[in-house]
Amino acid sequence: MSRSLLLHVVPPPVLGDSPAGNGWRSLLLAASALLIYRWPALASWLEWQRGSPEIWRMLTCHLVHFSTNHLFWDLAPFFLLAFLCERIHARRFVLTLLTAAIVIPLTVEWYAPSLTTYRGLSGLCSALFGMLVANGFFDELHVGRRVGVLVWLACAVAFGLKLSIELAYGVTVFADNLSGYVPVPVAHAAGFGVGVFIRAVGAIATPADRMPRHDDDCSFSPCP
């Protein structure tokens, strides 16, 4: 990844009114998932259960996991994506997570009738990936970089291929399928859609997150 594209994904810290976060929200969520996994007795109280009247399960189910393998393949990409997205725009990061946390269980309720329980950060990972892809796409489109636009479109296509494999074969692409859980592509699709939608709405109001970059910051190149 070139320095230019890297600076677009992870903008350098800026003081003042910058929308960028410092990563503490990402760390808090990751730590919460780890702590909950250490107390398996909490799982039945926090997982989403079909027909359950406890509304809090819609939010807490994302922090519960079926196995160590499940936790690893959810938590590792989640922390990376969360850190990147929080650095880009903290408020949009929080809005994406909160919206996806509600939309995903509702999607499972309506479109995955065979599932009686739902756990895991994978849906939220998909939401953050959608936010990241959409942010990169609109940012590159705003500055007129065709190659960058194509790169982010390719990322979206790759995610679509992953969903297609999960739908067609009922297997996970990365995690071990013998770990006691099955992929929920409708949850991943819903999460990705939320992330893209939140960023697209932001693009209407603000065409791009104009953070300091190598081509407009004298610290990276001589000023004209």
Q: Is the pLDDT of residue 124 over 90?
A: yes
- 193-197: long-range contacts, CB 8 A cutoff, minimum separation 24: 193/130, 194/96, 194/99, 194/100, 194/103, 194/104, 194/127, 194/130, 195/96, 195/100, 195/126, 195/127, 195/128, 195/129, 195/130, 195/131, 195/132, 195/133, 195/134, 196/130, 196/131, 196/133, 196/134
Q: Could you give the residue ranges of the DSSP H alpha helices within the chain?
A: 3-9, 24-38, 43-46, 57-60, 68-88, 90-111, 122-143, 146-169, 185-205
**138-195: per-residue pLDDT in tens?**
999 989 999 999 999 999 999 999 999 988 887 777 666 555 567 899 999 999 999 9
Could you tell me the CATH superfamily of domain 21-205? Answer: Rhomboid-like (1.20.1540.10)
- Say whether pLDDT at 46 is over 50: yes
Q: What is the pLDDT of residue 176?
A: 62
Which whole number is the average pLDDT over 113-118? Answer: 93
The mean predicted confidence, pLDDT, of the chain is 84
Segment 126-139, tens digit of pLDDT: 999 999 999 999 99
Tokens at 203, concatenated = 């693009």
